[in-house]
Amino acid sequence: DAGVTQSPTHLIKTRGQHVTLRCSPISGHKSVSWYQQVLGQGPQFIFQYYEKEERGRGNFPDRFSARQFPNYSSELNVNALLLGDSALYLCASSSNDRVRNTEAFFGQGTRLTVV
Amino acid sequence: GDSVTQMEGPVTLSEEAFLTINCTYTATGYPSLFWYVQYPGEGLQLLLKATKADDKGSNKGFEATYRKETTSFHLEKGSVQVSDSAVYFCALSILNRDDKIIFGKGTRLHILP
């Protein structure tokens, strides 16, 4: 079975542009979460979606948005990119919306560089 | 707010040495605790977890015990290998909150042959 897949793996964008990152969860998983990992730091929670509804939002500006599709795949959108948005963006999926009882599986991430 | 503090790295050890990476947490609820590992160029993998006080999580020779009295979840391994070189993250999540995982800053581990 395929794990969590993210695309693209690497991306270079210019300040002010927007970007869309994609995530396909493990088959059967209905929950998708997004994290930002700045170099040298731990991942920071951005969003969680379950059954196409937003269940949680971290402390990120409105430039960050996300959605989940009927097939449970997800997109993370970032508008008006800043240099500080350069990071590894990680997607995690789980079989339900309670991380405590099920493992969250992470993808390899998308490395975004803003120049 | 809820947070995780872990020892700063890098930690450099010789092969077969004993490993301890300290982790303490602050949480207003009753968290589940995790250790994740990130190998170079890869995403995060769950290494072990514990969901209640005094539980011991273990995997691949690594162990950590949930200590509520000291709010700690230290990672240990009796004999490390070169292949254990990676970044290790201590983390928590709290049921009945927005299901986020809160991570520490990570500890880079180098094992020398």
Tens-digit pLDDT profile for residues A43-64: 999 999 988 899 889 999 999 9
User: Tokens in use for B1?
Assistant: 């707010």
Of the partner residues B41, B43, B99, the one whose CB lies closest to the CB of residue A106: B43
Residue with tokens 């995060």: B44
CB of B107 closer than 8 Å to CB of B86 = no
Residue-by-residue pLDDT tens, chain A, 115 positions: 679 999 999 999 999 999 999 999 999 898 899 999 999 899 999 999 988 899 889 999 999 999 999 999 999 999 999 999 999 999 999 876 555 556 789 999 999 999 9
Residue A42 touches partner B, C-beta closer than 8 Å: yes
Tokens of B45: 């993998």
B33 phi, psi to nearest 5 deg: -120, 145
| B-interface mutation test, from A5, A99, A105, A110, most B Cβ less than 10 A away | A99
Comparing alpha-carbon positions, the chain B residue that sits nearest to A41 is B105
Q: In whole numbers, what is the pLDDT of chain B averaged over residues?
A: 93
Residues of chain B with pLDDT under 50: none
In degrees and rounded to multiples of 5, residue A8 shows phi and psi of -75, 175
CB pairs under 8 A between A and B: 67
**Residue B90 C-alpha, separation from nearest chain A C-alpha, in angstroms:** 9
CA distance linking residue B5 with residue B78, whole number of Å: 23
Cβ pair B44:A106 closer than 8 A: yes
**pLDDT on residue B97:** 60
Taking CB atoms within 8 Å and a gap of at least 24, the contacts of A47-55 are A47/A76, A48/A97, A48/B98, A48/B99, A48/B100, A49/A74, A50/A96, A50/A97, A55/A31, A55/A97, A55/B98, A55/B99
pLDDT of residue A1: 60
Chain B 53-92, CB below 8 Å of chain A: which residues?
89, 91
Give the per-residue pLDDT at B13. 96
Answer yes or no: do A43 and B103 touch at CB < 8 A: yes
A104 burial level (CB within 10 Å; 0-12, 13-18, 19+): buried
Closest by CA to B28, choosing from B106, B99, B94, B79, is B94
Under 8 Å between Cβ of B10 and B106: no
Whether residue A42 and residue B95 make contact (CB cut-off 8 A), yes or no, is no
Q: How much is the pLDDT for A56?
A: 87
- Cβ contact B25:B73 at 8 Å: yes
- A65 touching B, CB under 8 A? no
